Amino acid sequence: MPENELIQNLDLDEYKYGFIDQETHVFRTRPGLDEDIVRQISERKEEPQWMLDFRLKALRTYEAKPMPKWGGDLSKLEETLEEIYFYVKPQDQMERSWDDVPENIKNTFERLGIPEAEQKVLAGVGAQYESEMVYHSLKDEWESQGVIFDSIEDGLKNHPELFREHFATVIPPADNKFSALNSAVWSGGSFVYIPRGVHLETPLQAYFRVNQERMGQFERTLIIVEEGAQAHYIEGCTAPVYSTDSFHSGVIEIVLKRDSRFRYTTIQNWSNNMYNLVTQRALVNENATMEWLDGNLGSKLTMKYPSCYLMGEGAHGSIMSIAYASDGQHQDTGGKVVHAAPNTTSSIVSKSISKGHGRSSYRGLCKVYEGSTNARSNVECDALLINDTSRTDTYPYIEIEEKRSTVGHEATVSKVGDEQLFYLKSRGMSEEEAMALIVRGFIEPIAKELPLEYAVELNRLIELEMEGSVG
Amino acid sequence: MSLESAVLKKLGQGAPEWLCRRREHAWNVYKNTPLPTTQSEEWRYTDLSQIVDLESLKFLLPGDVDLNGSLPEILEGVLNENRTASGSSFLVDGLTTNIDSEASLSAQGVIFTSLRSAVEDYSDLLEEHLAVEALPPEKGKFEALNAAFWTDGVLLYVPRGVNIKLPFRTVNYLSHAGSAVCTRTLIIAEAGSQVSYVEEIISEDFDEITLASSSLEVIAKEGAQVQFVSIQQSGHGVFCQSAQRTLAHRDSILNTLNVGLGGSVSRVDLNSQLLGSGAKSDMLGIYFGDQNQCFDHNTSQDHVASNSGSDLLYKGALDGSSRAAFRGIIRVHPGAQGTDAYQTNRNLLLSDNARADSLPNLEIEADDVKCSHGATIGQLDKEALFYLLSRGLSRQQAERLVVLGFLGDVMSRLPLGDVVDEVTQAIEQKLLTHA
Amino acid sequence: MPEESTVADWVKVASLDQCLPGNILQVEAGEFTIVLANVAGEVYALEDRCSHQDYPLSDGDLEGSQLECLYHGAKFDICTGRATQLPAIKPVRSFAVEVREQNIFVQI
């Protein structure tokens, strides 16, 4: 079979999370967005006046900001946004016991493997269905130490002062068009608080699922890591395959106090009809360490650049990312590190694979402000191209104001080497097996950082995708 | 005269109709192209509105330049250096004052002449290539400005198979504060020929902003080898704007070196087009800034044909409160399989107030490629410094040597020995002022 | 006194009724573009250029004594120029202000 045909046959039918549930929401706003819809969302959530004011101001900011002209193709997005549901409430209340979650939603998450995961080694699990968290649980041993792992709405209700002190301080609504949109219509997401000195030994995990067709999901997560505390948060995202486009735009803010350590892992596996435009930023204080581990496998277009603002002396930021773009996909991802204090260090390692007509772009910023003496930053980007129709781009911005700093950036682009393939085939492997082995080797440095079940999943995906990728 | 169509009329007096039309067209493009702002990606780090008001500059015309006076000292110095060259020319405020070349070369059909005389003598050649093929006005605001208002420049034509050992040299000298001088260079190397060309830009120090706009078009036909070198040593107050586009056809080698030392603001737009299979382009750059100097390099490597190669290396050292911006892009177009493309930008920050921005970009649309880029920004190599200090050198001497070594590394790739010596001396001269 | 000649100039930039309490106003003073802000009758002056990406602050909003940049949401303390909200990190330049006979003067 000719190569192209093989690739088409492979398609993304292999996307195993593409199934559709029956719609069973208890409330949803009409399609589109205006002030009235923002008021409805706020009212449903029984919010204080300041939050409604915040949302309405953000809506005006969103409306005033032009659509970005850089990054991916957003020309059809405006149309999509006119037709989507900005708020779909899946059930009346959030459950703390898995047994109480409605049957159809429970089935969905069981197919995605949530209870299994929970039984394993997680400190806490959250599940968001459409616009709200339907389930949240935290092991008693952590709860008794003062850890908070809640839906963002409950964070606002139950910890109003802590919430207001940090909310939107890392990412102001006006930061970009989509942070403004999220600020206006946010719903769902996690509120996490790790008290001083507490080391969470196992990860917290949140699953995000969109089932409704033409749906917009706007989760908002706020994480506060107190002095000397340590934790790891994992999010996974999936959605059914529809012929119409859906939209996901999250805002994730993380505040790391001094000497703390936090890792945020994302495995984004949205279906290929999803626009995924996310703003993630961590404010890193003295001697704290922030690690973003970002896997972007799904979606139609992802634009996402996790950032570390290194504000305190000795702060460290690390961004590791894998992007995989196949037919019809554009992964415009990367990272930002901003050095604003002495002895700050950062590293970005990005690996991307483009296959078929897929396009992956690395876009990054390394900024060193004057006064950040002895700042060190290193950026490495490697791109692998599978077919002659694949595309890769690299757009790093390096802005240095401090002479006593050292900054390096390197990027390479390559295709799978004929010699490598030849060698592996001579050892009895099929071409597909050889290709999958080479691709796995390529992403291994990052894949090995992933939680085991995700690493296995990634390998499986690569094997499937490499079938028929060579002619 | 200020910027208006009357200037065009003056420039067009006695000129062939095609040229008048071409200038008129460029003028229209200029008028319809807004001045780039820092909102545009390509001008992100240079705010033109803070540098120059194009409308207020005095555009010098042939009648405005007085060529009878004695030569200024700085120009005398260059003239007396007794360089070995196949031909040399001098431009004062945008007009050629002397041009000559070895007699044997014209017998072989080599043309080395001022652009003004070429309009009369080689009208067909210019009509075919000037400001249409490599650098049409549509490329940008300054490209349009230059195409409309150029006063003079150089045409270098090398016939098929002619191999010229010594370089052609041009000195471009500016003397009028607050003026705008637009010059152009067109180099055509026919199949299998070999030629090198070195231009220098020098001037007095000015207390008003003065624009030196130059456009360079190089066309290397099949198997031709061309080396272009620009050494920019203009004085204070000069905004040196240079647009360069090189077209490398099948199996040709088209190399460039841009040395930026002078001027207040220097902007180079260099686009290298690899149009034929097997074409190669080495793109070298050196800049060394002090005081408030700004160097802005915007380069692109377009791999259109298969099996072509390009290798870019730009290195700069920044002292005082100088700034450098480098924006480079490698574009591998669909079908350009077998491309080898590299791009490296390295910066040394020598002072607390210096600043460097670097944007090395890749856009790759073919899979069988070898591409990489790298950028570094850092301080002087401490180990090298320590070694030199341990050998009894003063800190100042040691720092000069390390900087020279850092920049000199670029020139090790340049085949023109005399030019390497001159550039090294110029850098040394400038380093002497580094405290 | 020799110092006299180095003392910066006071420049009249507006009259007080052009910048009423709670309002901001863009003015020119010498080579600077300045944003004036009237906080409860007290007038302050910052350079009208956000330290994040150089956009004019005078397009933004005054909230109490905080001036918010319209373009990316950075905030500055209007009295000192200190950055109080990401993505801005560096301060913006602040100028001394005096009101003399209903006219606003800025020292540049």
List, in sequence order, every residue forming a beta bridge with B258; answer none if it has no partner.
B230, B285
Q: Which of A110-119, A318-327, B150-159, B259-268 has the lowest mean pLDDT?
A: A110-119
Looking at residue C17, its pLDDT comes to: 93
A187 vs B417 pLDDT, higher one: A187
Residue A4 reports pLDDT greater than 70: no
* Domain end marker among A416, A433, A452: A416
* Domain end marker among A416, A436, A455: A416
Residue C2 reports pLDDT greater than 60: no
Report if residue A2 sits inside a domain.
no
Residue C6 reports pLDDT greater than 70: no
Nearest chain C CA: its distance from A282 CA (Å)? 11
Residue A37 reports pLDDT greater than 50: yes
A272/A8 Cα distance (integer angstroms): 14
Q: Which two tokens stand for residue B192?
A: 């299998």
Q: Which residues of A touch C73 (CB under 8 A)?
A: 61, 172-175
Interface contact A413-B372, CB threshold 8 A = yes
| C93: contact with A, CB 8 A cutoff | no
Domain segments of chain C: what residues?
2-107
Counting as low any pLDDT under 70, the low residues of chain B are: 1-3, 65-71, 79-80, 82, 434-435
Residue C4 reports pLDDT greater than 50: no
Residues in chain A whose Cβ is within 8 Å of chain B? 70, 370, 383, 385-415
Tokens 């589109």 locate to A32
Report if residue A5 sits inside a domain.
no
Q: Report the pLDDT averaged over residues A395-408.
A: 93
Please tell me the number of Cα atoms within 13 Å of A310 on its side-chain side.
34
Kindly identify which residue of chain A lies nearest to residue B354, measuring between CA atoms: A401
Closest CA to B148 of B1, B319, B23: B23
Residue A87 reports pLDDT greater than 70: yes
Of A169, A338, A340, the CB nearest to C85: A169
Looking at residue A6, its pLDDT comes to: 34
Residue C46 reports pLDDT greater than 70: yes
pLDDT above 90 as % of chain A? 63
User: Structure pTM?
Assistant: 0.86
- DSSP helix/strand/coil, B199: strand
Q: For residue A175, what is the DSSP state?
A: G
List, in sequence order, every residue forming a beta bridge with B281; answer none if it has no partner.
B310
Number of Cβ within 10 Å of residue B386's Cβ equals: 11
Question: How long a stretch of residues is chain B?
Answer: 435
Interface contact A174-C75, CB threshold 8 A = no
* Number of domains within chain A: 2
Q: Which residues of C touch A338 (CB under 8 A)?
A: 87, 89
Residue A471 reports pLDDT greater than 60: no
Mean pLDDT of chain A: 89
Q: Tell me, yes or no, whether A422 and A300 share the same domain.
A: no
Q: How confident is the model at residue A75 (pLDDT cuts 50, 70, 90)?
A: very high
Q: Which residues of A touch B375 (CB under 8 A)?
A: 396, 398, 407-409
A44/A22 Cα distance (integer angstroms): 23
Q: Which fold has domain C2-107?
A: Rieske Iron-sulfur Protein (2.102.10)
Residues 6+ apart with CB under 8 A from A282: A170, A253, A254, A255, A256, A262, A264, A290, A292, A306, A307, A308, A309, A317
Closest CA to A278 of A256, A307, A314: A307
List Cα–Cα distances, A314 to A102, A292, A379, A447, B326, in angstroms.
48, 18, 18, 27, 29
Residues 6+ apart with CB under 8 A from A232: A200, A202, A203, A204, A262, A263, A264, A265
Over residues A206-246, the pLDDT tens digits come to 988 888 889 999 999 999 999 999 999 999 888 888 888 99
A112 vs A200 pLDDT, higher one: A200
Looking at residue A107, its pLDDT comes to: 81
What angle do the packed helices A431-447 and A418-426 form, to 10 degrees?
120
Residue A13 reports pLDDT greater than 60: no
Is there a contact between B285 and B313 (Cβ–Cβ < 8 Å)?
Answer: yes
Interface contact B372-A412, CB threshold 8 A = yes
Report if residue A13 sits inside a domain.
no
Q: Which domain holds residue A398?
A: 18-416
Chain A / chain C CB contacts < 8 angstroms: 36
A204/A149 Cα distance (integer angstroms): 8
Cα(first)–Cα(last) distance of chain B, in Å?
Answer: 42
Kindly identify which residue of chain B lies nearest to residue A405, measuring between CA atoms: B378
| C70: contact with A, CB 8 A cutoff | yes
Q: Which residues of A touch C87 (CB under 8 A)?
A: 172, 175, 309, 338
Please tell me the number of Cα atoms within 13 Å of A422 on its side-chain side.
3
Nearest chain A CA: its distance from C32 CA (Å)? 23
Q: Which two tokens stand for residue A91?
A: 């059930």
Over residues B91-146, the pLDDT tens digits come to 999 999 889 999 899 999 999 999 999 999 999 999 999 999 999 999 999 999 99
Residue A57 reports pLDDT greater than 80: yes
Kindly identify which residue of chain A lies nearest to residue B365, measuring between CA atoms: A391
Report if residue A12 sits inside a domain.
no
Over residues A250-300, the pLDDT tens digits come to 999 999 999 999 999 998 889 889 999 999 999 999 999 999 999 999 999
Q: How confident is the model at residue A454 (pLDDT cuts 50, 70, 90)?
A: confident
Report if residue A7 sits inside a domain.
no
Mean pLDDT of chain C: 91
Closest CA to A189 of A138, A154, A213: A154
Q: Report the pLDDT averaged over residues C20-45.
A: 94
Over residues A382-400, the pLDDT tens digits come to 999 988 899 999 999 999 9
Residues 6+ apart with CB under 8 A from A142: A123, A124, A149, A198, A200
- DSSP helix/strand/coil, B70: coil
Q: Which two tokens stand for residue B181?
A: 């001088």
Residues in chain A whose Cβ is within 8 Å of chain C? 61, 64, 169-176, 281, 283, 309, 311, 338, 340, 369
A287/A260 Cα distance (integer angstroms): 7
Domain segments of chain B: what residues?
5-275, 312-435
Cα(first)–Cα(last) distance of chain A, in Å?
Answer: 8
Q: How confident is the model at residue A12 (pLDDT cuts 50, 70, 90)?
A: very low
Looking at residue C7, its pLDDT comes to: 60
Kindly identify which residue of chain B lies nearest to residue A410, measuring between CA atoms: B374
